[in-house]
Amino acid sequence: MGIVLVVSSRAHTGGLPATQPWSGELSPTLVAAARIVATIKASEAKWITAGGRALLVWSPCFAFASYRFGPSGTAFAASLLLASVWLICLRSARAAVHFTLGIPVRTAVGTVTGLVGVSAMALWVPGLGMSTSTLLVLALSVFTLTAIWEGLVQRLVGKRRIVVVGPSSAADAVAEAVAFEGHTHFTVIGAVNDGPDDTFRLGSVAELSRIVDIERPDLIVIGNGEASSAAIDRLLTTSSRDFKVVGLPHFFDYAFGRVPLDDLTPSWFMSILHIWQRPYTRFAKRTFDVVCASVGLILAAPLMLVIACLVRLTPGPIIYRQIRVGEGGRPFTIYKFRTMRRDAEEPGEPAYAQENDPRVTPVGRMLRKTHLDELPQLWVVLKGDMSIVGPRPERPEFIPMLEEAVPFFTRRLLVKPGITGWAQLRRDYASDLEGAADKLSYDLWYVRHRNVVVDLAICAKTFSTLFMRPGR
């Protein structure tokens, strides 16, 4: 049933109605439940959200149990047991998987973890034995219903309201980042500081507790500066406790999956070596790379032969070789299918690749749009010079210039470069220093948060981008 839903809801502070459109294929029950959530205060909506999630996870479990045991108390107890395992795993995934990776990734991790738990439980609980196909159908049902519910509620409950403690320029930066990222989850109310009055200023730091009691923000972002300690003192005296507090760099990290270079200090890199940092061992990373590269080369071998014949139609070599800088600043040779003319660069005069680059051949343009020119790099991954996921490898000719112009640029060399990566997904080719700095902010986020789940999420997003938005 195709629908177009428009919900007019009031923010929990009693502000003007906020109309938010959504269109898609949903059952009337889900829509009706989500509309109820949209009219409830944000502090209360989480309980309705959790209840809806529990009901949707329990429903397919009860359907299976009723088929197995018939409509009885045994079926009800079995369905509660199955649903509990999945709900616990879904909750753990929401806490463990980074917010910026999105609802589908967090839900998929929770569903897969729950599938393992349910499979193990079915072996030990009499009468709960299930075939592989039944388990997969249950898992798919849990993933689909939960992802739809979480996405719908996130759209309808309303944006999280933010107050920035710091100069109005910091609040402007947050608001611009929200707009630039196309984020629908946050809205900036204003700034609290001791500077001159402007249209974005809500009041002074001394008035912070009163401002919080009136505005009822969901999140308070504190910028670096002398006002931060005074702000914390004021927040501890507020009558409201329905808000969270986060520093400006950590807010960018959480909300946008990048690090604000202007607010970055050398001490930030301590978080990479922090005692609470979960390790992503070289063995686990290397195993992931070898498995993915080997499978990729086997599957892509026939296609690579066709591409080689197409590239050979224009003068020049089939494989393009170039020196790049890898982990620890060590140089290595990268291999790609040639996409440019033979005379694309003058000797000794390196140049950035550009969007719609005139040096690209017709075949090369197609290869770049589909990123099939990257396939020979799978061999470089097997050699150990690159990873499947990591920062884009840079040319040594550009390193001194970038190191001088972009703070902390060489810190991206703490890990191996990758065929795909977080920065490549979030931003297109960098053709100038500003673009390089922008991509570095995403690369540093990856350096800090890399793990198997993040790598798998980046790979999944890469494939979805290739099929849904080729050329990105």
| Per-residue pLDDT tens digits for 176-222 | 888 877 666 888 888 888 877 777 788 888 888 888 888 888 899 98
In one-letter notation, the amino acid at residue 408 is F
- The DSSP call for residue 393 is P
In one-letter notation, the amino acid at residue 259 is V
Where is pLDDT greater, at 377 or 102?
377
Give the C-alpha separation, 11 to 439, whole Å. Answer: 35
Where is pLDDT greater, at 264 or 252?
252
Is pLDDT at 444 greater than 60 in this prediction? yes
Give Cβ neighbours of residue 70 (< 8 Å, ≥ 6 apart). Answer: none
In one-letter notation, the amino acid at residue 237 is T
Maximum mean pLDDT: which of 17-21, 109-113, 171-175, 191-195? 109-113
Report pLDDT for 11.
Answer: 34
Which 3 state secondary structure label does DSSP give 415? coil
Instruction: For residues 16-36, give the mean pLDDT.
Output: 47
List phi, psi (to 5°) of 36: -65, -45
Of 81-90, 166-175, 307-316, 389-398, least confident by mean pLDDT is 166-175
Task: For the chain, give the percent of residues with pLDDT over 90.
Answer: 27
Give the C-alpha separation, 424 to 430, whole Å. Answer: 9
Report pLDDT for 28.
Answer: 61
Where is pLDDT greater, at 383 or 430?
383
The number of CA neighbours under 13 Å toward the Cβ of 442 is: 23
Between the CA of residue 363 and those of 238, 305, 318, what are the distances in Å? 64, 14, 12
Which 3 state secondary structure label does DSSP give 465? helix
Task: For the chain, give the percent of residues with pLDDT over 70.
Answer: 82
Report pLDDT for 16.
Answer: 29
Task: List the structure tokens of 421.
Answer: 């990566």
Of 99-113, 259-273, 431-445, least confident by mean pLDDT is 259-273
Where is pLDDT greater, at 388 or 408?
388
Report pLDDT for 306.
Answer: 94
Is pLDDT at 403 greater than 50 in this prediction? yes
Give Cβ neighbours of residue 356 (< 8 Å, ≥ 6 apart). Answer: none
Give the C-alpha separation, 13 to 454, whole Å. Answer: 36
